[in-house]
């Protein structure tokens, strides 16, 4: 064939393929246009999963009669003129491709009236064309309508059989559309969105401006109840949480200074108990634009490190705000990906903000069903804290030393100043100070807290304590090591031996002084001190076996697994009878932990039953 320039309609159809993949893409583009037009209300209606019809109606600024046809030209946009404008972009659209693309693959009707004009316009494309012919007709007429814009898109891909074939069932396409609308509703809580599917109202947001309202609509109340706010409303000095968490230091506000300008992170993080089997529940927005980023999602997952069971993923809703100049949104036609000028700064800001939200708010799991109305530990003031602490000391008797985490003194200034102007300290986020009552089944420690009863899983709790102990010692380069009187020979399976060969440095770094000794044997000269009570040979074989089974995970996760395996091995087992002193010591150390409520594998270490709930159960109320 000779070389020819494609007919415009054919070129448009080909280009449209990049932007319009399925009905949800139409919805996305039209909603973005409505938002860019300043609409406070966006109504979406679909039939048959959007294939038969998509209608998007807004109360935005409308399109001037003289510009209605122009809007459908490729590269026609009112949002940008020069390349420099990309640096200051505040609109969702800028490529001027959406309307041209939609019109190339569907029948489109536009009804619009500009706020500045008396009469509106109705414009209709009759696209009879197949891929080869390009017969298009245009009908336009003046029409009396309220200011705003409505697009009706019908028979999507009727002229592109190849695309049509790939569309899924109506229910699946509806699901995609629902997801799109939910995202915009979350990003723009001050605007009202609704979705009607085949005549039935499927989603509606109130436009109240409260993100929490939309979260409840989007995720359901049950899930929304388990979401913790990130960033906002955080008092600058939050030392009451005070279990020595360096993550919190200097990150009291979620806004961080960075070379590319400040990075603000807000949103919601699911409690660790709200985990999912895949990472699709991590939703990311930057400057109110939804985007995908596996590395950033990973940094969110990392913030839950050791809090979630293995193979489970968190639920999170992350809003990042930064200078548009520090961001490139022009990476892909659908704008689903972005590039950060300083991605490291963004990643660490997000991770810190999530971690902080978790440390501050995560409640201890209750015995009771959700909805019982207990809000967790009831210590809300310094007075409560001090009163409880002295009562506890009295109960414990004078023989016991101060707990590891003594209550800090009340803020300076005295009672006279302690008016409403001084923010009350947040309730303790870790574990309250507990009085050990006894042991149950040689598995659980029963303890009394300021506001109810606590059951501690002795094995899980001890794992957590040892884990943090080892991390702390390792960070300070003073890991406690136990030299073996006689070097120990480990005869391993080829698989275990191969894994160990890969990890010699890692093992040595964590106190296992190990060197090759023949083909699949190793010589061990020292072990981490935490293992010294154990049979070192058994412990080492088990640990090497663990390494063999975690070869294909990321480096940091691999290291974490090694440490977790050591701690699991070293921790007191269920079934071991403990003395009161041992239990008190363990509870004291748990109180002082950074993440006291879960073991390193993500299982809870503690469950709690409030005084109110006990009274209710006994019919005392």
Chain contacts with ligand ADP (rule: CB under 6 A): 29, 33-34, 37, 58, 60-63, 71, 76-79, 93-99, 149
Binding mask 376-415 for Mg ion (x = CB under 5 A): ----------------------------------------
Per partner kind, with CB cut-offs from 5 to 8 A, the member of ligand ADP, Mg ion, none near residue 600 is none
> Quick one: which of 93, 314, 432, 511 contacts Mg ion (CB under 5 A)?
93
From 93-101, 115-123, 175-183, 276-284, give the range in contact with Mg ion by CB under 5 A. Answer: 93-101
Query: Could you tell which of Mg ion, ligand ADP, none binds residue 21, using a CB distance below 5 to 8 A set by kind?
Result: none
* Secondary structure E strands in 206-298: 227-230, 255-256, 263-270, 282-286, 289-291
Min. distance of Cβ 79 from Mg ion in angstroms? Answer: 8
Regarding beta strands 120-127 and 444-449, do their DSSP bridges make them parallel or antiparallel, or are they unpaired?
unpaired
Q: Which residue is nearest to ligand ADP (CB)?
A: 93
Q: Contact 367/609 with Cβ under 8 angstroms?
A: yes
Binding partner of residue 320 among Mg ion, ligand ADP, none, CB cut-off 5 to 8 Å per kind: none
The answer to whether 616 and 324 have CB atoms below 8 angstroms apart is no
The region of 27-35, 175-183, 293-301, 325-333 touching Mg ion under the rule CB under 5 A is 27-35
Give the number of other CB atoms < 10 A from CB of residue 82.
7
Q: First-to-last CA distance in the chain?
A: 89
Q: Which two tokens stand for residue 487?
A: 């070097």
The residue among 11 and 310 lying less far from ligand ADP, judged by its C-beta, is 11
CB of 99 to ligand ADP, least distance (A): 4
Asked if residues 19 and 27 have their Cβ atoms less than 8 Å apart, the reply is no
Nearest to 139 by CA among 123, 120, 153: 123
CA angle, 190 then 39 then 261, to 5°: 60
The partner in contact with residue 78, picked from ligand ADP, Mg ion, none with C-beta cut-offs of 5 to 8 angstroms by kind, is ligand ADP
- Residue 149 touching Mg ion (CB under 5 A): no
CB closer to ligand ADP out of 194 and 240 = 194
Give 5's DSSP letter.
P
Q: x/- contact string, 193-232, with Mg ion (CB under 5 A)?
A: ----------------------------------------
Nearer to ligand ADP, 92 or 527 (CB): 92
CB of 314 to ligand ADP, least distance (A): 34
Instruction: For the CB of residue 134, give the shortest distance to ligand ADP in the complex, in Å.
Output: 19
- E-strand stretches of 144-232: 148-154, 192-197, 200-204, 227-230
Shortest Å distance, C-beta 71 to ligand ADP? 4
Beta bridge partner(s), residue 41: 192
Beta strand pairing call for 200-204 and 227-230: unpaired
Residue pointed to by tokens 């296992």: 512
Q: Establish if 427 lies at the interface with Mg ion (CB under 5 A).
A: no
DSSP character string of 540-575: HHHHHHHHHHTTTS-HHHHHHHHHHHHHHHHSPPTT
**Which C-beta is closer to ligand ADP: that of 37 or that of 234?**
37
Shortest Cβ 217–ligand ADP spacing (Å): 23
Give the separation between CA 28 and CA 33, rounded to whole angstroms: 9
DSSP bridge pairs for 365: none
Question: In the complex with Mg ion, which residue's Cβ is closer, 77 or 271?
Answer: 77
Taking the complex as a whole, how short is the minimal distance between the CB of residue 11 and ligand ADP, in angstroms?
16
Q: For residues 30-89, which are near Mg ion according to CB under 5 A?
A: 33
Question: How many residues touch Mg ion (CB under 5 A)?
Answer: 3
CA distance 320 to 325: 14
Nearest to 403 by CA among 395, 414, 412, 415: 395
Nearer to ligand ADP, 183 or 462 (CB): 183
Within 167-196, the residues that bind Mg ion by CB under 5 A are none
Q: Which does 447 bind (CB under 5 to 8 A by kind): Mg ion, ligand ADP, none?
A: none
Q: Are 214 and 348 in contact (CB under 8 A)?
A: no
Characterize 282-311 residue by residue with b for buried, 16 or more Cβ atoms within 10 angstroms of its Cβ, and e for exposed.
bbbbbbbbbbebeebbebbbbbbebbbeee
E strands of 48-163, at which residues? 53-58, 107-113, 120-127, 136-143, 148-154
Q: Cα(205)–Cα(197) distance, rounded to whole angstroms?
A: 15
Among ligand ADP, Mg ion, none, what binds residue 76 when CB lies within 5 to 8 Å by partner kind? Answer: ligand ADP
Of 99 and 345, the one with the shorter C-beta distance to ligand ADP is: 99
Strand partners, 452: 449, 610
* Token pair 């088990």 in the structure block, residue: 542
Lookup result for tokens 């005392």: 620
Residue 354 interacts, among ligand ADP, Mg ion, none and using kind-specific CB cut-offs from 5 to 8 Å, with none
Q: How far is the CB of 102 from ligand ADP (least distance, A)?
A: 8
Q: Shortest gap between Cβ of 75 and ligand ADP (angstroms)?
A: 9
Q: Closer CB to ligand ADP, residue 18 or residue 408?
A: 18
Residue 77 interacting entry, from Mg ion, ligand ADP, none, C-beta within 5 to 8 Å by type: ligand ADP
Place of tokens 């999530």: 354
Q: Which is nearer to ligand ADP, 95 or 275 (CB)?
A: 95
How far apart CA 175 and CA 184 sit, in angstroms, is 15
Q: Which stretch binds Mg ion (CB under 5 A): 44-52, 92-100, 227-235, 525-533?
A: 92-100
Q: Does 98 bind Mg ion (CB under 5 A)?
A: yes
Q: How far is the CB of 354 from ligand ADP (least distance, A)?
A: 32
Return residues touching Mg ion (CB under 5 A): 33, 93, 98
């Amino acid at each position: 064939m000779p070389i020819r320039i494609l007919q415009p309609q054919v070129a448009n159809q080909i280009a449209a393929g990049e932007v319009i993949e399925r009905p949800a893409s139409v919805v996305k583009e039209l909603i973005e246009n409505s938002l860019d037009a300043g609409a406070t209300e966006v109504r979406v209606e679909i039939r048959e999963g959007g294939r038969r019809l998509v209608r998007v109606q807004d109360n935005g600024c409308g399109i001037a009669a003289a510009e209605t046809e122009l809007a459908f030209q490729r590269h026609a946009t009112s949002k940008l003129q020069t390349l420099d404008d990309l640096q200051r972009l505040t609109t969702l659209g800028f490529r001027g491709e959406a309307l041209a693309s939609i019109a190339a693959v569907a029948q489109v009707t536009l009804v619009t009236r500009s706020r500045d004009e008396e009469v509106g316009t109705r414009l209709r494309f009759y696209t009879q064309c197949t891929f080869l012919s390009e017969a298009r007709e245009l009908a336009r007429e003046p029409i009396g309508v309220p200011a705003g814009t409505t697009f009706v898109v019908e028979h999507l891909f009727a002229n592109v059989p190849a695309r049509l074939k790939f569309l899924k069932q109506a229910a699946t396409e509806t699901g995609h559309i629902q997801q799109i609308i939910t995202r915009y509703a979350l990003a723009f809580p001050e605007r009202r969105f609704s979705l009607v599917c085949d005549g039935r109202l499927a989603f509606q947001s109130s436009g109240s401006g409260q993100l929490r309202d939309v979260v409840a609509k989007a995720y359901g109340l049950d899930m929304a109840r388990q979401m913790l706010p990130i960033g906002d409303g955080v008092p600058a000095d939050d030392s009451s949480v005070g279990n020595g968490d360096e993550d919190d230091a200097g990150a009291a506000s979620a806004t961080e200074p960075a070379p590319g300008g400040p990075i603000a992170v807000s949103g919601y993080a699911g409690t660790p108990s709200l985990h999912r089997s895949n990472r699709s529940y991590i939703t990311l927005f930057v400057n109110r634009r939804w985007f995908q980023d596996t590395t950033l999602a990973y940094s969110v997952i990392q913030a839950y490190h050791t809090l979630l069971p293995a193979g489970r993923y968190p639920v999170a809703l992350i809003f990042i705000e930064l200078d548009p100049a520090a961001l490139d949104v022009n990476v892909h036609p659908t704008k689903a990906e972005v590039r950060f000028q300083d991605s490291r700064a963004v990643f660490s800001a997000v991770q810190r903000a999530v971690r902080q939200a978790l440390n501050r708010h995560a409640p201890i799991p209750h015995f009771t069903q959700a909805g019982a109305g207990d809000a967790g530990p009831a210590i809300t003031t310094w007075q409560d804290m001090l009163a409880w602490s002295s009562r506890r000391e009295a109960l414990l008797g004078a023989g016991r030393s101060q707990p590891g985490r003594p209550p800090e003194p009340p803020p300076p200034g005295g009672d006279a100043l302690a008016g409403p102007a001084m923010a009350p300290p947040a309730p303790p986020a870790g574990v309250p100070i507990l009085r050990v009552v006894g042991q149950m089944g040689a598995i659980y420690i029963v303890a009394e807290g300021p506001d109810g009863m606590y059951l501690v899983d002795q094995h899980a709790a001890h794992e957590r304590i040892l884990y943090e102990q080892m991390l702390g010692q390792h960070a300070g380069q003073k890991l406690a090591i136990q030299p073996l009187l006689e070097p120990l020979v480990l005869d391993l399976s080829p698989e275990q031996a191969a894994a160990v060969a890969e990890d010699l440095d890692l093992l040595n770094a964590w106190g296992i002084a190990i060197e090759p000794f023949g083909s699949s044997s190793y010589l061990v000269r020292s072990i981490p001190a935490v293992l010294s009570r154990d049979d070192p040979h058994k412990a080492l074989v088990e640990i090497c076996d663990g390494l063999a089974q975690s070869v294909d995970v990321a480096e940091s996760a691999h290291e974490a697994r090694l440490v977790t395996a050591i701690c699991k091995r070293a921790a007191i087992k269920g079934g071991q009878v403990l003395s009161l002193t041992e239990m008190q010591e363990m509870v004291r150390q748990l109180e002082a932990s950074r993440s006291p409520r879960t073991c390193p594998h993500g299982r809870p270490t503690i469950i709690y039953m409030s005084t109110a709930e006990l009274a209710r159960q006994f019919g005392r109320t």
